[in-house]
Chain A
Amino acid sequence: MLTIEEILETIKMVQEENLDIRTITMGISLRDCSDSNYKAACRKIYDKITRLAGPLVKTGEEIAREYGLPIVNKRISVTPVALVAEASSIDDYIEFARTLDRAAETVGVNFIGGFSALVHKGFTGGDIKLIESIPGALSATERVCSSVNVATSRVGINMDAINMCSRIIKETAKLTEKYDSIGCAKLVVFANAPEDNPFMAGAFHGIGEPDCVINTGVSGPGVVRSAVRKLGDGADLGALSETIKKTAFKITRMGELVGRTAAERLGVPFGIVDVSLAPTPAVGDSVAEILEEMGLEHCGAPGSTAALALLNDAVKKGGAMASSYVGGLSGAFIPVSEDAKMIDAVDAGALCLEKLEAMTAVCSVGLDMIAIPGDTPEETIAAIIADEAAIGVFNHKTTAVRIIPAANKKVGDRVEFGGLLGHAPVMAVNKFSAEKFSRRGGRIPAPIHSLRN
C-alpha cells in the first residue's frame, strides 16, 4: 500500500516543483509519401500526418488529466524531408514545409520536426535542395523545425556541409530579422543526431524507426534542484549524485507511464523515454539553478563543467534504471535563452561562449539557443559549429549548435522570442578569424576509435 508521504511527495513534485512531461512526440515515417509529382507527395504527407496524429492532442490531454501530470507539448517528428522530397521534380522544397505546417496546425501541435537532411558524409541532390530551402521554409512557416546532421563518429565531419549550414543560418537570421531572427531558433546543426529524439527543434523520425511511434520527453529541473537543496550544504558530491539519481529515476518512471499509456491508446508502438532535464524560462525550472544549488555562485564559474558532468551522468544512471528504453538525448540541456538562470549568468558576466563550449563536452547536447552579434562572419559560425562537432565526434556523443546571429544586434542587446524559446542577451564571439581554416572545406576523417569492427 502506498504511504501518505509517498503520495504527497508526488503531488508536491507536480504542484510546487514543476514536474511535467515535457513532450509526447509522435514519430511518423513519410517514406511511403514520395512522388515524382510534388503536389501528390504533399497531399500524401498531409493525409498521413493528419490521419495518424489526429487523436494525439486529445489523447495527451486525457492522460494528463487522469494522471494529474501536466503534458506540456504534443509534437510530431517526421522522416527527414530530403529523403521524401528527393523523388519530386521540383527545386524548392518550401511547399513541403508549408504542408508540414498545415498538417501540424490541423492536428493542433505547436511544432513539427523533420525538415531535415543527413549529410555527414556527403550530399545528394535532394539534400542540397532541402538545405537551400531552409531559410525560406523557416521564415514562411510557424511550426516547422529543421535540422541537418553534418558529422558522425563513424564517418567524420563534413566541413562542406558545415560551411553551407553557416551560410543558411545567416540567411535565416536575415529573413526573420523582424522577429529577432527567430528562424534560427528552429534550426539545429547536429553531430551524431539521435533518430528518436522527441525534443524540438532537433526531432526527426530516423530511417531505422517503425512506421509510427510514440516517444516521450520528461523534464523536471525544479524537482532535482529541490532534492539537492534538501540535502543541504554539508552533503558530499557522492551524496549529491545519489540523490539526483533517485530523483531522475522517479521522474523517468512518469515518462515511461505516460509514454506507454499514450502508445497503447493511440495504437502505435512505444519507442523511448528521453530522460532530459529541459529547462524553461519559468522561475524554478532551471538547470543552471541546480548547478548553483550544488555550490556555484553562478553557472559558468570554475567548477561548472565538473558539476554539470556529475548532474548529467546521475540523470542518465537514474533514468536507465527506470525505463528499459531510454533514448533520444537523455541528460541535461543547457540552452541559454530558455533558462532564466543561464540568462542571469550571462548578464552577470559569469558565462561566456567558450565556457559553454567546455560544458557541452559533458551535457546532453551542445551550444543551444545562443544569440551572437548579427555581423559575426559566416566563417566564424562555421568554425564554432566545427568545434562543437569535433567535441561530439571525438567523444562519441551527440552535440549540436542552435545559434542565432541576431540581425542588426550587438553584444549586450537582447533578443526576445517569447514562449518556451525565451529571451537572451547577445553574447560576445572571439574576434579572431578562422576564415582560412573553414574555407578549406572537405571532410575531417573519423577518429581512430571509429574503427571498431
Chain B
Amino acid sequence: MNKLKDSPGGSRIVITVIGPDRVGIIAAVSAILAEKGVNILDISQTIMQEFFVMVLMADMKEATIDLVNLKDLLARKGEELRVQIDAQHEDVFNFMHRI
C-alpha cells in the first residue's frame, strides 16, 4: 500500500505548516498523525517574517495511510485552521541539499 517503504530514503516524510500563529496547530496535526500511525521524530519551529513556520519530521513505517491521502487530510485540516499544511517525502530535501 505504501510505496514509500521501497524508496531509497525509506519512509520518512517532512510536514510543513506555514501561516499565522494560533492555538492548537501542533495539537491538530499531531492528532491526525497519531490516529494514522505516523510517528513524529522531530519538531522545529521558527517565525519567518510574520509567519509561523513549523517543520515536523515523521516516519510512516507503521502508518495505516499512504502519503497521498495523508496530504489530503492535512491540507483539509489546514484549511480549517487557516494555515497551509503540506507533507512531502524526505528524499526531495535530501536529494537537493545532501550529496
Contact = CB atoms under 8 A, between A and B. Distances in A.
Interface of A: 1-2, 4, 6-11, 62, 65-69, 250, 253-254, 256-257, 261, 265
Interface string B45-88: 11010000101010000000001100100000000000000111
A251 B21 CA distance: 31
B72 to A, nearest CB: 9
A339 B48 CA distance: 32
Contacts of B90: 2
Contact of B44 (A4, A11, A65): A4
Interface string B2-31: 011001000000101010000000000000
Chain A contact residues: over half helix, strand or loop, or mixed? helix
Contacts of A11: 16, 18, 86
Contacts of B87: 68
A254 B94 CA distance: 10
Given A254-B92, A256-B95, A261 B53 contact: no
Interface of B: 3-4, 7, 14, 16, 18, 42, 44-46, 48, 53, 55, 57, 67-68, 71, 86-98
A265 B4 CA distance: 11
A354 B91 CA distance: 45
A261 B95 CA distance: 12
B68 A65 contact: yes
Given A8-B16, A254-B95, 15 more contacts: A1-B42, A1-B57, A2-B90, A2-B93, A2-B98, A6-B97, A8-B53, A10-B92, A10-B97, A66-B67, A66-B88, A66-B89, A68-B87, A250-B96, A253-B96
A257 B68 contact: no
A6 B45 CA distance: 13
5 contacts: A6-B93, A10-B96, A11-B18, A66-B3, A66-B67
A4 B97 CA distance: 12
Among B67, B88, B90, residue most surrounded by chain A Cβ atoms (within 10 Å): B88
Nearest to A19: B96
Nearest to A256: B95
B16 A65 contact: no
Given A7-B14, A10-B97, A261-B7, A67 B55 contact: no
B92 A69 contact: yes
A62 B68 contact: yes
A62 B2 CA distance: 12
For the complex of A and B, the 5 pairs showing the least CB-CB separation, nearest first, are A68-B88, A257-B95, A6-B97, A253-B95, A67-B92
Contacts of A9: 97
A254 B89 CA distance: 12
Contacts of A10: 92-93, 96-97
A4 B71 contact: no
A8 B44 CA distance: 12
A62 B71 CA distance: 12
Nearest to B13: A66
Given A2-B93, A66-B89, A7 B7 contact: no
A66 B7 CA distance: 11
A315 B20 CA distance: 37
Nearest to A65: B68
Contacts of A6: 93, 96-97
Contact of A265 (B3, B86, B91): B3
A67 B93 CA distance: 9
A4 B53 CA distance: 9
Contacts of B46: 4
Contacts of B88: 66-68
A9 B92 CA distance: 12
A144 B48 CA distance: 47
A67 B89 contact: yes
A7 B91 contact: no
A367 B35 CA distance: 56
